[in-house]
Structure 1
């Protein structure tokens, strides 16, 4: 499925469907807009309880429900080493290249999930420094500490 001159959607090695660059994309280029229904926080919470993974925080009063047919950006995958980032421009969410992207490369961004319930969101991005879970980069050191502690506890238990 092709939706623009920059990106097409097809099967991904990361997860399900993914977006792939049709051409080389320069750092700073707007790749695709993340669109959807503007919803209040009460509806957002209800959607999250229904396991809607396409909710995007806009501000303190509203979120964007990207679970609509006319939002192909919902198929973009998370990566611990993304080539794009989400940027808010006056309430519009753009996926913007954070570095130069080569033709054929999968378009990814960090979903920036919080650390709460991180084990419910395993990461399959395959990046060399993948932390194993879909969380914001600011939480990577916390996950590394948790992994190290778990490994040391596991090693001490197996040596007994």
Structure 2
């Protein structure tokens, strides 16, 4: 009596995923595929998808996944992901002399920095000399289109 049902009729995917019936051309058999929502992966969308696994940061940049949500009440009860952290975005910490969202741009000691939007998320890190300094000089020309925020031209840190 159930011969007319397709695999997705049995609801094999969690409620947050989309079930797609797939028919194989040679055998005419039908199986299903779960299309997972962002942040999840796997046959039944039960694995957390870490976007840093794809190595989006270039030039030895360090990838950190940005938390999407801590608790996802929309994950179905039979899933073991209840309460886990899901991620969909990344933040790249660039190696010295590289900048950009994915550390894709190389700088030189004489360079022009162009940041697409104002804020505290865009910065460049330049390695200093190995010896201790007692003073430093910075020569710069700055143009900004931001008439609301103020910014820090240079900040520095010293080892402990």
Task: Indicate the structure with greater helix content.
Answer: 1
| TM-score range for the pair, normalised by the shorter chain length | under 0.3
Q: Structure 2-normalised TM-score?
A: 0.20
